[in-house]
Amino acid sequence: MNKHILIVGGGYVGLYTALRLQRKLGRELRNGEASITIIDPQSYMTYQPFLPEAAAGNLSPRHMVAPLRRVLPKVRILNGTVTEVDHAARVVTFQPAEGEARKVSYDVIVMAAGSISRTLPIPGLTDIGIGFKTVGEAIALRNRVLHLLDVAESTDDPEVRRRALTFVVVGAGFAGVEALAELEDMAKDSTRYYRNLTPADLRWVLVEATNRVLPEVGPEMGKWTLEQLRERGMEVKLDTRLESCVGGHVVLSDGSEFEADTLVWTAGVKPSVIVNSSDLPLDERGRIKTTAALTVAGTRDAFAAGDVAGVPDVTNPGQYCAPNAQHAVRQAKVLADNIIRYLRGEQLVDYRHKYVGSVAGLGLHQGVANVYGVKLRGFPAWFMHRTYHLSRVPTLNRKVRVVVDWTLALFFKRETISLGEVEHPRDGFRAAVATMRH
């Protein structure tokens, strides 16, 4: 009998689970005893830790994603969204990119839908805020920063110039700090090509509601990072909240007010919205309630892992695993093996991994790391950051492409052109049509 394994989400957990199942269930997949489907709106898995480098132009965006169909030839890939999970009936509602929604049934489901930006009802946020979780956001942000340098260089209006050159990032976790540091480094680098811009004209503001930055590398290295950012001229406002940003008029809880054209929101994540349209149990933080063996608590035939799941941290009783790639990749491995054990009626094993610390890039040749208690800063940390992520990015093909990108950037200066035009590809054609004589 064919056992259909359905994976909701083709990110870290989805890709790595499917890769392992594809390898270990080779015979069953061949003779029709098992089949695997991944549903994801995208046809690729995004290696998110490389988003800041892609935004800074050190990496081509195409090289930081793994194409699902090429990497998983034995897996059926459906592009679209799961809008409802009816686990009691073992069926999901699948909304393809085009056309009518349809039902897809399964025998075993893997919830791997990850997380989305956790936002707050702040006036103006939906108008000018941008997240930093997808390739689209990272590249749009890069284009925007470079475009605003062009705007500032070409205007005579000091207000327009000041506003264009003010960049705000809210949230000082690794997404926010890396995005800020890499973009600042790129923009600073780019000013050499402008006659009327110097690095001192750029204003970078990091707003953080707590009293620390980069908690992922521990208090000592977090403090060092804070000093580094300040030494580089960035304003870091701790214990401060964004109160409003209507029309780009930024108001902070410390009383300061200023105009900015760019506001990046990286103040935490929450589980994918699919959790609210499913009959799977949730924990107190709204994630799928998961056991240490990565099954969905109190159910049969359902597994979950990664950012969407509340996985107990057995190395730290009473706590949950943090939502990061370090856990997601390792959980995927255990999850795939547990599915195989489950199908064979064997005992499942618990997921156990003690968080080993983190590495972060802070711009070209700059970084910070705290891994297995080894604390590094500056160039050695940056080197470790690159080697670690190179070893982690999926497939040899992508690794080679990433190394080629980095090598090119070593010998030639990085690209600093804004291709924001791709966001409005029909403007030129429309203008041409408008000039047509009847």
Ligand X SMILES: Cc1cc2nc3c(=O)[nH]c(=O)nc-3n(C[C@H](O)[C@H](O)[C@H](O)COP(=O)(O)OP(=O)(O)OC[C@H]3O[C@@H](n4cnc5c(N)ncnc54)[C@H](O)[C@@H]3O)c2cc1C
| Interface with ligand X (CB under 6 A) | 8-14, 39-42, 48-49, 51, 81-82, 112-114, 132-133, 174-175, 272, 274, 306-308, 323-326, 328, 358
**C-alpha torsion sign, points 276, 280, 282, 287:** negative
Q: Measured from the CB atom, is 199 or 218 closer to ligand X?
A: 218
Least distance from ligand X to the Cβ atom of residue 210, Å: 18
Instruction: List alpha helices for 43-173, DSSP H.
Output: 51-55, 68-71, 125-128, 135-154, 158-164
In the bound state with ligand X, the residue whose beta carbon lies nearer, of 115 and 155, is: 115
How is residue 266 written in tokens? 């990286």
The strand pair at 309-310 and 288-289 is best described as: parallel
Closest approach, Cβ 261 to ligand X, in A, equals 21
Nearer CB in complex with ligand X: 16/224: 16
- What is the closest distance, in whole angstroms, from the C-beta atom of residue 342 to ligand X in the complex? 20
Question: Residue 410 burial by CB count (10 A; 0-12/13-18/19+): exposed, middle or buried?
Answer: exposed
Among residues 260, 409, 332, 376, the alpha carbon closest in space to that of 38 is found at 332
| Shortest reach from residue 197's CB to ligand X, in Å | 27
CB nearer ligand X, residue 264 or residue 293:
264
Pick the closer one to ligand X by CB: 163 or 398.
398
Indicate the SS3 state at residue 411.
helix
3-state SS assignment for residue 251: strand
C-alpha to C-alpha distance for 259 and 237, rounded to whole angstroms: 16
By three-state DSSP, how is residue 324 classified?
coil
Residue 324 beta carbon to ligand X: minimum distance, rounded to whole angstroms: 3
Least distance CB 97 / ligand X (angstroms): 11
Nearest partner of 124 among 256, 265, 255, judged by Cα: 265
Nearer to ligand X, 124 or 171 (CB): 171
